[in-house]
Each structure stands twice: as structure tokens, then as C-alpha cells.
Structure 1
Amino acid sequence: RGTGVLNRLFSHYGPHKGEVEGRRNGVLVSNGTGEAVAYALWNLEERGILFVEPQTRVYGGMVIGEHSRGNDLDVNPLKAKQLT
């Protein structure tokens, strides 16, 4: 979904700098399909850095943010505020 552009230009060979580090943090993964709701995203901000804004179309399995801890977390960005 969407368009990606990749460009490369070789600069030079350099000395080996050791192993490449893996991911330190997990990700926030959407568990539903629809439009992200501001109320839900506001509550998810304390879980990590979000990549989406309110009214962004999301789908199940989409990475919507970076978790502040090392594990992946399924979240619901579609949850609206319950009105009484």
C-alpha cells in the first residue's frame, strides 16, 4: 500500500565495524481496520512513539508506532470515547 522510492550511491569500502545491532524496541501493531481515532491515539501515546495521526486509515497488522519496551504490542487505534 503506497509508493516507496529507494536510491543508492556507493561511496567507499571501510573497515569492518562489528555486528549490526538488532531492534531494541518493539512495535505497536493495529488489531483492527478503519480510521484511527484521536481519543485512542491519545491513550496510546504513553506506550510509545506513534507513526499515524487521527483519521489515518489503518488495517490489521499495520505497524502504527514504536513501543517504549522491547516487546511488540497489539493495540486498538479505533477505540472511540464511550459516551453516556
Structure 2
Amino acid sequence: MVRRQPQPPMEGLRRQISKGRREGATGSTSTFVRETFVLPRMAARAKAREWLDTWPKAAYWTEIETWRQLPDDRIEFTMRRLPTAD
């Protein structure tokens, strides 16, 4: 005979979904902070390292979102992170 596991209470999940929808509509914590840079290669590396040191990936989901190499060994890149580490 197979025993069914009891269903977990869903009220907490409902509250979280509601809160997320409200915050998403107002553009709060679910919105990433983005900044685009165009720098020489070594300066681009230093700027990316600065962002990662200031806003650690584990807490802020910091990452290089896009990048491309331009003429004259310049790099255009966009850094992205969460506004807070909630």
C-alpha cells in the first residue's frame, strides 16, 4: 500500500509570489543595476575586478553581462548586479 505524503501549506508560497509581483511592478529588488563601460583592455579588467570585489557574485549576482572587443584594443562591456544583497 502506498502512503501519500501530506501536502505542505501553500500560504507562505502564495505570500511570496504576491510580494514578488508587487515588487516587480514597482521595479524594486528584482531589477538589476547595469552599467556599460568602454575601456582599454587592462583598464576593463581592473574595472570588472573592482565591481566583483565591491559587490561579490554570491550576494549580488554580479557578472559581466555582455562584452565585445573594439578597434584599438578597447573593450565594451556591461556589468550587472542586484541593487541590494537581501
Task: Classify the TM-score, shorter chain.
Answer: 0.3 to 0.5
TM-score using structure 2 length: 0.33
Give TM-score, length-normalised by structure 1: 0.34
Identify, as 1 or 2, the structure richer in helix: 2
Q: Could you say which structure has the higher strand fraction?
A: 2
Larger Rg: 2
